[in-house]
Amino acid sequence: EAQVTQNPRYLITVTGKKLTVTCSQNMNHEYMSWYRQDPGLGLRQIYYSMNVEVTDKGDVPEGYKVSRKEKRNFPLILESPSPNQTSLYFCASSRFGGGPGANVLTFGAGSRLTVL
């Protein structure tokens, strides 16, 4: 089954304790992205990657890091989490390059993160 898998689905942590949210896709997609969803703010892009070793900042990159060493994986790293990073996080992927069906993102099920 074509899917985007992210883990953990739920996490409660404390300020300053580094954490990583993993994301993996099995569709051989070039493009991957992380979003956070907050009440009243919709989906905001954190980072995206158009291919291996190519990453770019989205709208709200502060406090986050990403890496794209393999095509299928795109982990989100919070080096020193703070309470304002409490949110619902989504990883997504798509093929790229234009044409029908390109840029149709497939989303993971979400990771709810609470930073105390």
Partner 1 sequence: DQQVKQNSPSLSVQEGRISILNCDYTNSMFDYFLWYKKYPAEGPTFLISISSIKDKNEDGRFTVFLNKSAKHLSLHIVPSQPGDSAVYFCAASGLSGNTPLVFGKGTRLSVIA
What is the closest distance, in whole angstroms, from the C-beta atom of residue 63 to partner 1 in the complex? 20
Binding residue for partner 1, selected from 19, 30, 58, 61, defined by CB under 8 A: 58
Pairing of strands 54-57, 42-51: antiparallel
What is the closest distance, in whole angstroms, from the C-beta atom of residue 15 to partner 1 in the complex? 26
Q: Per CB under 8 A, does 32 bind partner 1? A: no
Residues 65-84 that bind partner 1 (CB under 8 A): none
Q: Which two tokens stand for residue 71?
A: 């095509």
